[in-house]
Amino acid sequence: MSSDDQRHVAAFLEMMAAEKGAAANTLDAYRRDLADFSGFLERDGLAVAEAKKSDVSRYMQELSAAGLKPASRARRLSAVRQLYKFLEAEGSVAESPVEGLAAPSKKRALPKTLSVGEVDRLIQAAAGAIAGTSGRDLVRAVRHYCLLEMLYATGMRVSELVSLPRSVLKGDPRLLTIRGKGGRERLVPLNAGARAALTRYLALGEAPEDGVAPMVATRHLFPSRAGGGHLTRQRFAQDLKETALLAGLDPERVSPHVLRHAFASHLLDRGADLRSVQSLLGHADISTTEIYTHVLEERLKRLVTDHHPLAKKAP
């Protein structure tokens, strides 16, 4: 990436962080996508500020030829579009070369989810894994059980969950204040099971058992020596797959995000209204939440097709 392109991208990312409240993961994704676009232009001796619509079109064609899925190509184009929108507002380019370019058409995939029974098996497996452990293994097992209960009880994003500050413990223990994407805050309730799991986890720090060393109170609820000072989402995802094996589930079907999907689907399945689920998930746009209604529609279709006595398959 040329020095001019680096300067433009850096200024754009700074704006996204300061004015839009973009999370670190979002900024990293923009940085990667824009570096790829800049590298494409650089091969032809072009800088970002010099690109024309035909150059952006060629870039999209190259991504397609490389086998990139429509959703990934649409994300790349969105990043480029937002960069040029910023540069146009800053006066660095006269006109955005992305203007008028349509995003690749994509069929929105239904989110993967688990049944209530499968989630129960996961939680029971995590609870059972605590028995017979001691020392650090006990802490890890109790922590994982707590994380799993809290994730399914709240539908938090995994990044929100693992980075929770200890300050969320202040106030009503039945509610947590979550800071989500764009710095938006929302309240999420903790059910009895999640509160009990959290109490058990916190008790290890206050009154250690089985030779467990007291947990040092840090600003994070789930501290770690990792770079961010808290448990990483990758570590939690890995532990969750191990729990899936204990529960007799295919680990490829289980992830923190799948549990978030399960939280939303199970609420709607039991009569929760879409606006309430949108608020709990922290979705800025209700259209994002509406995808879960399609999950329920597909489930109902399969139910009728498989079990209704008059359902006839085509010959």
CB 152 within 8 A of CB 262: yes
The Cα 250–Cα 24 span in angstroms is: 31
- Look up tokens 């890890």; give the residue: 140
* Catalytic hit among 181, 220, 241, 299: 181
Active site residue 220: no
* Catalytic hit among 8, 157, 186, 233: 157
* Catalytic hit among 76, 143, 186, 260: 260
Active site residue 257: yes
The answer for 67, left when phi > 0, alpha when psi is -120 to 50, beta otherwise, is left
Active site residue 292: yes
Active site residue 181: yes
User: In the Cβ-directed half-sphere of 255, how many Cα atoms lie within 13 Å?
Assistant: 12
* Catalytic hit among 59, 84, 145, 292: 292
Burial 215-240 (b: 16+ CB within 10 A, else e): eeeeebbbbeeeeeebbbbeebbebb
CB atoms within 10 A of CB 44: 10
* Catalytic hit among 20, 200, 257, 299: 257
* Catalytic hit among 75, 233, 261, 283: 283
Active site residue 261: no
Active site residue 283: yes
Record the tokens describing residue 150, joined without a space: 């809290």
Q: Which residues are catalytic?
A: 157, 181, 257, 260, 283, 292
